[in-house]
Amino acid sequence: MAALRGALIGCGFFAVNQMHAWADVADAEIVAICDRDPERLKLVGDQFGIERRYSDAAEMFADGGFDFVDIATTVQSHRALVEMAAAHRIPAICQKPFAKTLADAKAMVAACKAAGVPLMVHENFRWQTPIQAVRKALDAGAIGEPFWGRFSFRSGFDVFSGQPYLAEGERFIIEDLGIHTLDIARYILGDVTRLTARTRRVNPKIKGEDVATILLDHDNGATSIVDVSYATKLGTEPFPETLVELDGTDGTIRLSQGYRLEITNAGGTTVADVSPKLLSWAARPWHNIQESVFAIQQHWAERLKDGGETSTSGADNLKTFALVEAAYESAASGRPVDIKAML
């Protein structure tokens, strides 16, 4: 079968990972790229040998000749570009955070639905090898019914040198990183009914919050904590590992630093190394994220071909994005937020 032809918009810091991953995805290739910054356009175009280059996404859509678009810009342009894709009936992948507001995100999902085109949010953290290993253990019934969880990302890694915009926004860690952790909590323990959050800013050089502690009530009665921090200086820096603790009716799961998965149940305790692969183009410590970029893009190509729904479709991601908005709302008001009322 002929390869799917893709176009990528936004040739910045993270898009380089997406371009490498597209080169590895079976039966897909990037045939056109777009960036309004000529330097980024040239850099990425030359590195990956892409001849069709555009500074204006509207011109690229007008020329066509591709089966899907991968939107790798920052959030400000997501709604306009997704709606442009829908208007041209082009299936779209959109980077996280999906939108600036839940209202925008809902409009984007509605536009793609009305146009009859698939929309996937590039919510890659659930595709990380260690998170997939936790999901598989639960599916195998290793600990019975989980009733409590903790999803923790605590780091002192300098993310601002590669992504300077992260220091400038009114919102930081929940919108940028906690969004992934909240998605993992949903992926592992299911949808959420109610959320309570507290935030604080520790680093005086940034505008937004860099610490958040979030309590979730899940549909199935489980309770979990999502705690994220970029103000945590540890002896061994864990970036970018999400640590997971789960207590179930028949046992426990602990995903701890160093990609160590410990499962305890009536059969005893087993320990496994669930480290991600170091892909040929990847570099530590980012390799965990980089491998998940490949995994989510391969998944997109497969679903686009078989017509199936993606794991992190736009519609699915509304339920993660609502948690982000609710966390800011709860932190501001000090009160719990009803999630179902937002959707």
Applying CB under 6 A, the residues found at the interface with ligand NAD are 9-15, 34-37, 40, 57, 72-75, 77, 95-96, 122, 124, 163, 176, 289
Does 324 help bind ligand 89Y (rule: CB under 6 A)? no
* Token duo for residue 158: 């300098």
Does 159 help bind ligand 89Y (rule: CB under 6 A)? yes
Of the candidates 1, 8, 42, the one whose C-alpha atom is nearest the C-alpha of residue 23 is 8
Please check whether residue 319 is in contact with residue 175, taking contact to mean a CB–CB distance below 8 angstroms.
Answer: no
Please check whether residue 269 is in contact with residue 172, taking contact to mean a CB–CB distance below 8 angstroms.
Answer: no
Closer residue to ligand 89Y (CB): 289 or 331: 289
Q: Could you say which of ligand 89Y, ligand NAD, none residue 240 binds, taking C-beta under 5 to 8 angstroms by partner kind?
A: ligand 89Y
Closer residue to ligand 89Y (CB): 61 or 153: 153
> 3-state secondary structure string, 124-155?
CHHHCHHHHHHHHHHHCCCCCCEEEEEEEEEC
Does 240 help bind ligand 89Y (rule: CB under 6 A)? yes
Nearest-approach distance from CB 267 to ligand NAD, in angstroms:
36
- Specify the DSSP class assigned to residue 165: G
* Token duo for residue 263: 């499962």
Does 30 help bind ligand 89Y (rule: CB under 6 A)? no
Nearest-approach distance from CB 336 to ligand 89Y, in angstroms:
26
Q: Which stretch binds ligand 89Y (CB under 6 A): 70-78, 175-183, 192-200, 277-285?
A: 175-183
Closer residue to ligand 89Y (CB): 75 or 84: 75
Closer residue to ligand 89Y (CB): 41 or 289: 289
Closer residue to ligand 89Y (CB): 118 or 178: 178
Strand partners, 254: 245, 262
C-alpha span between 35 and 168 (Å, rounded): 22
Q: Which stretch binds ligand 89Y (CB under 6 A): 174-182, 195-203, 245-253, 308-316?
A: 174-182
**Burial of 201: CB neighbours in 10 Å, binned 0-12, 13-18, 19+:** middle
Q: What track of x and - describes contact with ligand 89Y for positions 261 through 290 (by CB under 6 A)?
A: ----------------------------x-
| Secondary structure E strands in the chain | 4-9, 28-34, 52-54, 68-71, 92-95, 119-122, 146-154, 192-200, 211-218, 223-229, 243-248, 251-256, 260-265, 268-273, 337-338
Does 176 help bind ligand 89Y (rule: CB under 6 A)? yes
Closer residue to ligand 89Y (CB): 72 or 111: 72
Nearest-approach distance from CB 19 to ligand 89Y, in angstroms:
16
Nearest-approach distance from CB 177 to ligand 89Y, in angstroms:
4
Closer residue to ligand NAD (CB): 155 or 265: 155
Nearest-approach distance from CB 146 to ligand NAD, in angstroms:
25
Does 123 help bind ligand 89Y (rule: CB under 6 A)? no
How big is the site for ligand 89Y, counted in residues (CB under 6 A)? 7
- β-pairing verdict for 251-256 and 260-265: antiparallel
Does 177 help bind ligand 89Y (rule: CB under 6 A)? yes
Cα–Cα distances in Å, from 268 out to 86, 88, 263, 265, 274?
52, 56, 8, 5, 19
C-alpha span between 123 and 186 (Å, rounded): 12
C-alpha span between 282 and 210 (Å, rounded): 27
Closer residue to ligand NAD (CB): 15 or 197: 15
Report angle CA 259, 181, 112 to the nearest 5 degrees.
125
Binding site for ligand 89Y (CB under 6 A): 159, 163, 176-177, 180, 240, 289
